[in-house]
Amino acid sequence: MGNRTSRQDRNGKTTANAGHSLNYRTSDFVDERGASSAPTAMNATGGTEYEPGNGYKYHKFTTATPSPESKLIVSGAGTIDLLVVAGGGAGGSYYGAGGGGGGIAYANNLPVEDGTYPVSVGPGATAHGHPLNPSSFEGNDGVNSYFGTPGQSIGGQPDYILAKGGGGGGRGTTTGGRTGGSGGGSGGGDPTPALGQATQPGTNPSPFVTDYGNPGGYSTPTGGYAPAGGGGAGAAGVSIDGDIPGGGNGGDGQPFPAFAYPLIGEPGLNPYSPSNSHYAGGGGAGVYNTPATNRTGTGGHGGGGNGPGSPTGPGVNKLGGGGGGRHPGNQTNYVGGDGIVVVRYSA
């Protein structure tokens, strides 16, 4: 038998060779599998592109009408962070409640493969008149936003990633809010739990996706004529319990610091968020009487429209805010804000 010899393998570990002394060196070995190539870094095109210098590349989609150009085309494979915000619901009018903010689907480290991912951004809602009273409006629901296409599996999700439009705000003293991504507020006569419930939670089963949405407020006045605020992605709309004057505030939206407005070319969206990063705030309700404390009908952070005061009315576009409620009946500007879809990945 020859002497036992040892060598270092490619991982730097020393191994013994029992048997004849072969007297070989590690540099003599050739990997017959061939040289391995480094993986290709993922890249993508589509939307409006930004590289703000924080190590990420962003793709922003704001087109409220689907088109062949509204898509993300991925080259290679990798992971993305994804923000999908639906259109906000419209506020009601004539003791009008606030509209609900658009639902939000947020994905962190979502695996994507080489291919095309259609993108649709839902517009905010308008209001429609009551057939017997043209000055009395119930808010319509915002429109859904999505990333992907039906039947396209993304990160364990069997279908596209969906954000649901916000629910419309109620009107009068007997009309509850509508369900939606976040629910619309009640006009009045709607006891707890509110009719304007949130439908976004549980929408996307992927383990990489978190859904955000909250109910609109309920309102049970008997003489205060006080409507409730619309729900936001981060908090429920403010409810009115009893004869409390004023209108409920909209629920705050959800902050996403990784998608702060300046990072996606939107510094002008301040002051709708103290951190410049809230999305899908609920609309504040209209005010009939002098408001009590915390019943001023203020829209939630993240683009919720105010009921009274300034700035007034509509939810903010590109944030998916719910529209503010109104009293009396002019509802021209109290629409929901358009949604947005933003993708980011390591540059």
- What is d(CA 305, CA 104) in angstroms, rounded to the nearest whole number? 18
The predicted-structure confidence for 85-106, as pLDDT tens digits, reads as follows 999 999 988 888 999 999 999 9
Selection from 176, 225, 224 nearest residue 197 by Cα = 176
- What is d(CA 330, CA 322) in angstroms, rounded to the nearest whole number? 17
Structure tokens at 164: 């649901």
Rg, Å, the chain Cα set: 27
Better-scored residue on pLDDT, 267 or 40: 267
DSSP 296: B
Does the pLDDT of residue 17 top 80, yes or no? Answer: no
Average pLDDT over residues 321-343: 84
Better-scored residue on pLDDT, 4 or 77: 77
Does the pLDDT of residue 20 top 80, yes or no? Answer: no
**3-state SS assignment for residue 263:** helix
Structure tokens at 133: 């009273």
The predicted-structure confidence for 191-232, as pLDDT tens digits, reads as follows 888 999 999 999 999 999 999 999 999 998 877 788 999 999
Q: With bands split at pLDDT 50, 70 and 90, how would you rate the model's confidence at 295?
A: confident
**Using DSSP, how many helices (H) and how many strands (E) does the chain show?**
0, 17
| pLDDT for the residue numbered 16 | 39
Instruction: Give me the residues paired with residue 141 across strands.
Output: none
Selection from 269, 280, 163 nearest residue 231 by Cα = 280
| pLDDT for the residue numbered 138 | 83
| pLDDT for the residue numbered 283 | 96
| pLDDT for the residue numbered 3 | 41
Could you tell me which residues come within 8 angstroms of residue 307 by beta carbon, excluding any fewer than 6 positions away? 91, 96, 98, 247, 283, 284, 285, 286, 287, 296, 297, 298, 299, 324, 325, 326, 327
| pLDDT for the residue numbered 334 | 83
The predicted-structure confidence for 151-201, as pLDDT tens digits, reads as follows 888 988 888 999 999 999 998 877 889 999 999 999 888 888 899 999 999
Q: With bands split at pLDDT 50, 70 and 90, how would you rate the model's confidence at 38?
A: very low
Does the pLDDT of residue 33 top 60, yes or no? Answer: no
Does the pLDDT of residue 9 top 70, yes or no? Answer: no
| pLDDT for the residue numbered 150 | 87
**pTM score of the predicted model:** 0.86
First CA to last CA across the chain, in angstroms? 58
Could you tell me which residues come within 8 angstroms of residue 13 by beta carbon, excluding any fewer than 6 positions away? none
Q: With bands split at pLDDT 50, 70 and 90, how would you rate the model's confidence at 329?
A: low
- What is d(CA 7, CA 294) in angstroms, rounded to the nearest whole number? 76
Average pLDDT over residues 105-128: 92
Question: Are 298 and 185 in contact, with CB atoms under 8 Å apart?
Answer: no
Does the pLDDT of residue 323 top 50, yes or no? Answer: yes
| pLDDT for the residue numbered 12 | 41
Average per-residue pLDDT for the chain:
84
| pLDDT for the residue numbered 31 | 41
Calculate what percentage of the chain has a pLDDT beyond 90.
59
